[in-house]
Amino acid sequence: MKRAILDALTRPAAGPMIRALDRETGQERLIDPFSDETPLGLAARSAARTDVSGEIEVGGRTWFLEVHNPPLELVLVGAVHIAQPLAQMALLAGYRVRVIDPRAAFATPARFPGVALDQGWPDEILGKSPLGTRSALVVLAHDPKIDDPALEAALASPAFYIGALGSKKTHAARLERLSGRGFDGAALARIRGPVGLAIGARSPAEIALSILAQMTQTLRT
């Protein structure tokens, strides 16, 4: 790998990029998969979308397409107890983690080491740094004033996972409020609630595990 390519791939805030490598000649190219319309560029686009690296033949040459996607991101709304193990587990799984909670007493660095903390309102923060295709959002605050605006922002985004903590009853009430705000059934079906896989989770860490498992399932299957 040429130093210039490494530098481009490690630039802060770099978007999705593909390194195309011809192993026979050692030639390598850096491809922006969402602007390159050549046959190789289109193959790179498909590799970036599926997040799968591999070899492909284009114009009689074999290229290895190495996918360099931006990191996965998890946004937690509500710096509550469950958010603590979920943030740490998500960090281990390779996510960048952000926690949003306007209540200053909750979102403290001592409770969330290694995590970006935003002590503001979710709709304002998500308006400034929106969710992308590699983002997941989970609302945990139990407070519609905090959770609902975050869900509205997530539904307007291409986030791959949207989860909402709460019982079936809480969730039904939440869906009714959002429906009143103009979201249709297809939009509301994107929200996973009650959140997490049904593994009989009880403790905050077990619930966090069920959520991260469901996020992984949504991303990979």
Binding residues among 13-52 for another protein as defined by CB under 8 A: 14, 17, 21, 23, 26, 52
Which is closer to another protein, CB of 72 or CB of 140?
A: 72
Residue with tokens 């802060």: 12
Strand order across the 72-77 sheet: 116-118, 95-100, 72-77, 135-139, 161-164, 191-192
Q: Please work out the total of residues on this chain that contact another protein, with binding judged by CB under 8 A.
A: 23
Whole-number minimum distance, CB 56 to another protein, in Å?
Answer: 11
Distance CA 170, CA 186 (A): 19
Of the listed pieces 8-16, 102-110, 159-167, 191-199, which binds another protein according to CB under 8 A? 8-16
> Does 70 interact with another protein (rule: CB under 8 A)?
yes
> Does 114 interact with another protein (rule: CB under 8 A)?
no
> Could you give the 3-state DSSP secondary structure of residue 175?
helix
Of the listed pieces 34-42, 59-67, 160-168, 185-193, which binds another protein according to CB under 8 A? 59-67
> Does 145 interact with another protein (rule: CB under 8 A)?
no
Whole-number minimum distance, CB 130 to another protein, in Å?
Answer: 20
Q: From the list 68, 98, 134, 171, which residue makes contact with another protein (rule: CB under 8 A)?
A: 68
Residues 6+ apart with CB under 8 A from 182: none
**What one-character DSSP code corresponds to residue 70?**
P
> Does 54 interact with another protein (rule: CB under 8 A)?
yes
H/E run at residue 122: helix 122-128
Distance CA 126, CA 123 (A): 5
Whole-number minimum distance, CB 22 to another protein, in Å?
Answer: 11
What is the identity of the amino acid at 8?
A: A
Distance CA 35, CA 37 (A): 6
**What one-character DSSP code corresponds to residue 116?**
E
> Does 160 interact with another protein (rule: CB under 8 A)?
no
Which is closer to another protein, CB of 66 or CB of 147?
A: 66
Whole-number minimum distance, CB 131 to another protein, in Å?
Answer: 19
The 10 Å Cβ neighbour count of residue 163 is 25
The residues that touch another protein, with contacts defined as CB under 8 A, are 1-3, 6-7, 9-10, 14, 17, 21, 23, 26, 52-55, 64, 66-71
